[in-house]
A and B are shown apart, each in its own frame.
Chain A
Amino acid sequence: MREAGKGAGAEPREDDVPDLATLSGAGLVSGLRKGDAVTVQSRTTPAVSFTLNGAPIEVAVEAGVSLLDLLRERLDLTGTKKGCNQGACGVCTVLVDGRRVLGCLTLVAQLDAREVTTIEGVGTPEQPHDLQRAFIGADGFQCGYCTSGQICSALGMLRELADGVPSAVAEHVAAQPGSSELEMRERMSGNLCRCGAYNGIVDAIAAYADAAGGHR
């Protein structure tokens, strides 16, 4: 019985494919931070230009490369983590034009002229965002692996609330949603925390929203 190369299950192609594009300069871009301009070029594929953490970036990668792999494998922005790589855990949540998206399900090709914000663009240890401070204050994590996704997701979620986007627990789709704990839990339910730090996360988001005079 010959089963040449047959794996245990049908798998998607593997994630990071840096061989199919060329980086400008020699090798990887180290320690990219907000404000750094970067160009990543390819001989074979059309370039995509967007803004990453406030700085312009141009990349040309194979069509199947996800935003998550671009960030982690190509740009050294490892603050965005990989949990399931199939859009089911929320760990890789980042913001595109202020809205939350899953980095593993977003292709680089979709990013032309968009504005991408990762956790590195939200704040730094020296100058954290108020929501990041709130996560520290409310103990909104344990192992920390889901945290960057939780924070990006929360920022997007609060904007959705402000924009009146209804949720599954909204009383009426046309009504301005409230910001009850129930609403926030429902809206954050795509971000798993295996350590179960959910209480701290909800407390952190609520504290931030309250202080920001937001939607509570």
Chain B
Amino acid sequence: MSALSERPANPVVGQEIPHEAASLHVTGEALYTDDLAVRTHGILHAHPVQAPHAHARITRLDPSPALEVPGVVRVLTAEDVPGVNDAGVKHDEPLFPSEVMFFGHAVCWVLGETLEAARLGSLAVEVDYEPLPSLVTVHEAIEAGSFQGGQPHMERGDIEAGFAGAAHVYSGEFEFAGQEHFYLETHCSIALVDENGQIFVQSSTQHPTETQDIVAHVLGLPSHAVTVQCLRMGGGFGGKEMQPHGYAAIAALGSTLTGRPVRLRLNRTQDMTMSGKRHGFHAQWRVAFDDTGRLQALDATLTSDGGWSLDLSEPVLARALCHIDNAYWIPNVRVNGRIAKTHKTSQTAFRGFGGPQGMLVIEDILGRCAPQLGIDPIELRSRNFYVDGQSTPYGQPVRHPERVAICWEQVLTTGDVATRKADIAAYNASHEHSKRALAMTPVKFGISFNFTSFNQAGALVHVYKDGSVLITHGGTEMGQGLHTKMLQVAATTLGVPLSTVRLAPTRTDKVPNTSATAASSGADLNGGAVKDACEQIIERLRAVAAGRLGVHPADVRFSDGHVGKVGGGATVPWADLVNQAYFQRIQLWAAGFYRTEGLHWDSSAMHGSPFKYFSYGVAASEVEVDEFTGAYRLRQVDIVHDVGDSLSPLVDIGQVEGAFVQGAGWLTLEDLRWDESDRPSRGRLATQAASTYKLPSFSEMPEVFNVALLERAHEDGAVYGSKAVGEPPLMLAFSVREALREAAAAFGPAGTSVDLASPATPEAVFWAVQEARGGAEPPHMTAMVEGAPGVVPDQPGADAAPLRPRSEQAAQPARAGT
């Protein structure tokens, strides 16, 4: 057990405690960024002018008519930018564009005394556009050769030999949709300038440091002139990792130019039509099995739909490639990736960050091939699990692979899978127009930012003279319970009750140079930093206590607010000791730092050990499908998930449940539709509200939902033996999709393989049922091909640059991903 992972006696970590802001949340007292607006005197409101073209050149922009509108104070345009006119780290996202790159692109912003004045002003701005040809679908981009960024290539073994000797070869194509974050709190920033010219931005951002960077470069200021604070977010899910920066910059620019506070809050339609989403992908694949169903080779080319700018597309794609194996050993692998450049919103981070997309490809392959191989999908999957001693295609040894098998066995047992499978068979035999199925899928998800440099964090811990403790760390709170966990870590390390510790909001002037709260790494990284800071203080107090208690410093024990000798005896109250230390001129605060050790990654070669560890989980889902409508019910879900030794079980169970629901939404309900026609509305997002974009509600919850955390799951390499939890359980929802596929197949003869679109909406399931019953291929699907050559994935041209994120080029401040 490492010093990082070892828990003291009676730790506060591991206790089931409510969210730190629970009483504020249930009473409406918890403040989100926009709630600060009404508390800010003299605030101005920003409204965008959104372009009504997917692609166009702006030939004239005249803001002057807007200034005639009562209440309009100023129109912000490119001429106003004192620094760099760019909202991204790749310098390919003009904040005020001269070329419209997607339908709804903001071309300028109007500031008004009221939001209504700003809106009326935005309608008065005169803009002339010269429409240009546009690429809206990933297919159009592939056909046009429209790609952006590097093209990663990952290879292991001998791909041709793997296919040459295989008993079974299949190939196919698969295109699947992205996902709108639909955090209930839309993007919001409030900026003001103080008497000394310091810019203060309150922003709903998962990445305050990068928001600070962008605001600074837009304003042409050094970073120390900009402070960014995030109280909390009403959901982030990756959508506030890269996307808030431009909005914060607009607010800050408006504030510097007017001298007044500026509020920029997107309404729902603006948020959905302007901000990035999960990447949809197109995949070409061929796969080889031996005669027992063991994977022999996988050759795939993944094309992500990156939208108009690079954003986080490169690291998202890298993570997709790094997860195409999911939990399965594939000896010979070749995977190529490329990023389509289309005239859509800039697709970005979303919980899982490409991992779900990569894993969906292999799970779809196994789901389609199992009937052809004549092997039950549960058996096919478990037969291909990693075992000890094997490595991923990118060369990282798979540690603790047995945990997948343990979770799998536990779900089989607690979910009573064998009995239920028999019941399902009986049900299906007696019901002509309704079929049930149960599917199980595993998750193996790599934890750490792929790009090694981002795996660092800071914290600031103050112990005041009265013994009370205030902590700040670099992570942001978006509902995932990070602050709760950090309070528990601090209380555990200092040996004080939870009530002794308070947490201050995340700010760039408290902890600088932070990484995004992303990649599920918030607790790992910031927990390490909080623990480090607390340990520095404890070491100093240990000497004071040793003198007072007359014991050796190593024998001093801090527990539950009392300081005493190991093994018992007299104790001193924590507050007394702290007070004494103050008078002895002992420093009672500390800055903590943490960097994850043992990581290395070569993104050009797509090789290394980028992850500290893998998180594992298994889900079994049972569905019932109606023949006539494709409508379905999710009858039961059983999950066993590995969170290490949980820091906060209540939080972690909630994360597992919520991630599963969100994953099920992506895979079965949430259907982004873009106007692909040649009408003037081409490129417009047609699903731009909750009325047309179906989110999971109470009604779509599994009727029976059993979630268990894997026991005896200590993780030696992470804070107090815990594991990350935010993203991995999202991918447990593959089990729902596979169950729908099997239920649809059950309408056909035994051994039927169906092609199921994603999302598997009732409509998509309806078409799958028709296919199973001998009908045509579902719309927009390509039938799987048996035997060689079949579909041969495109190979990169000689001129394709490897994935070489600019963040690895020393001159460029940028990031390479989560």
Give chain A's interface residues, CB within 8 Å of chain B. Answer: 1-9, 11, 13-19, 27-28, 30, 72-73, 76-86, 88-89, 91, 118-120, 122-125, 128, 132-133, 135-137, 139-148, 151, 182, 184-186, 188-202
Contacts and interface: CB of A to CB of B under 8 A. Distances in A.
A2 B126 contact: yes
**A-B interface, 9 closest residue pairs, ranked by CB to CB distance from nearest:** A79-B28, A143-B479, A145-B234, A196-B661, A144-B25, A196-B658, A88-B690, A119-B28, A142-B479
A159 B438 CA distance: 38
B662 A194 contact: yes
Interface string B410-454: 000000000000000000000000000000000000000000000
B125 A28 contact: no
B505 interface: no
Given A118-B28, A132-B27, A5 B125 contact: yes
Interface in B649-668: 650-651, 653-655, 657-662
Interface stretch (B30-38, B245-253, B332-340, B777-785): B30-38
B39 A18 contact: no
A86 B736 CA distance: 31
B701 A9 contact: no
Nearest to A202: B698
B684 interface: yes
Contacts of A89: 184, 690
Q: Which of B235, B655, B689 has the most CB of A within 10 A?
A: B235
Interface stretch (B111-119, B489-497, B809-817): B111-119
B19 A139 contact: yes
A193 B699 CA distance: 12
B185 A81 contact: yes
B688 interface: yes
A199 B184 contact: no
A189 B654 contact: no
Contact of B51 (A8, A88, A143, A194): A8
Contacts of B703: 182
A13 B118 CA distance: 11
B127 interface: yes
Contact of B699 (A132, A141, A189): A189
Contacts of B39: 30, 76
B32 A84 contact: no
Interface of B: 18-19, 21-32, 34-35, 38-39, 41, 47, 49-52, 65, 71, 103-104, 113-119, 122-131, 181-185, 232-235, 237, 267-269, 273, 478-481, 650-651, 653-655, 657-662, 684, 688-691, 695-699, 701, 703, 705
Nearest to B479: A143
A85 B127 CA distance: 28
Given A8-B52, A151-B26, A194-B183, 18 more contacts: A2-B126, A3-B52, A5-B125, A9-B684, A11-B267, A14-B267, A77-B28, A91-B184, A124-B27, A128-B26, A144-B234, A148-B28, A184-B698, A188-B698, A189-B699, A192-B695, A200-B654, A200-B657
B475 to A, nearest CB: 14
Contact of A81 (B32, B49, B116): B32
Nearest to A147: B25
A128 B27 contact: yes
12 contacts: A4-B126, A9-B50, A76-B39, A81-B32, A136-B18, A142-B479, A143-B183, A144-B24, A188-B698, A189-B698, A191-B697, A194-B183
Nearest to B273: A8
Contact of A14 (B26, B47, B49): B47
A122 B658 contact: no
Nearest to A141: B25
B27 A119 contact: yes
B514 to A, nearest CB: 20
B21 to A, nearest CB: 7
Contacts of A194: 181-184, 235, 237, 662, 695
Contact of B234 (A4, A18, A28, A81): A81
Given A4-B65, A5-B123, A148-B28, A142 B480 contact: yes
Contact of A199 (B25, B104, B705): B705
A49 B436 CA distance: 56
A53 B781 CA distance: 56
A146 B184 contact: yes
A128 B131 CA distance: 57
B268 A84 contact: yes
A183 B708 CA distance: 26
Contacts of A77: 28
A128 B27 CA distance: 7
A4 B182 contact: no
